Amino acid sequence: MYDSFVEVTDEWQAFVGRRVEADLHLWQDRARAKAPEALWSVYGKFWQKAFEDYWNEYLALGQLYTEVVTPRTSASQQCSKGGFLHAKAA
């Protein structure tokens, strides 16, 4: 289980690193925009990419958390069922 949490942490740190890089590129792209239309285009692309990145990360982390929780849930359910059957037989 510890390895699963390390995997979640690694994924989050990699995502934050990618987003910080994209955020820094926004400043460079803004500086290159010479007209208002170009600036709007820079911001539009930035926010669209940010939304896609956060959405994909939400899905990726959800999948990782599901993998972390599922084995624990299955084991606890098996224990509960076994305990119930044992209590019922007595």
Which DSSP string corresponds to 9-54?
HHHHHHHHHHHHHHHHHHHHHHHH--SHHHHHHHHHHHHHHHHHHH
C-alpha triplet 66, 68, 74: angle, nearest 5°: 85
- pLDDT given at position 57: 95
**Hunting for tokens 């069922």 — which residue is that?**
81
Q: What is the pLDDT of residues 7-36, one digit of tens each?
A: 889 999 999 999 999 999 999 999 999 999
Q: Rounded to whole angstroms, what are the CA distances from 78 to 2, 30, 48, 81, 86?
A: 21, 57, 45, 5, 12
Confidence class of residue 89 from pLDDT cuts 50, 70 and 90? low
Please give the model's pTM, rounded to 2 decimal places: 0.68
Q: Where are the domains of the chain?
A: 2-89
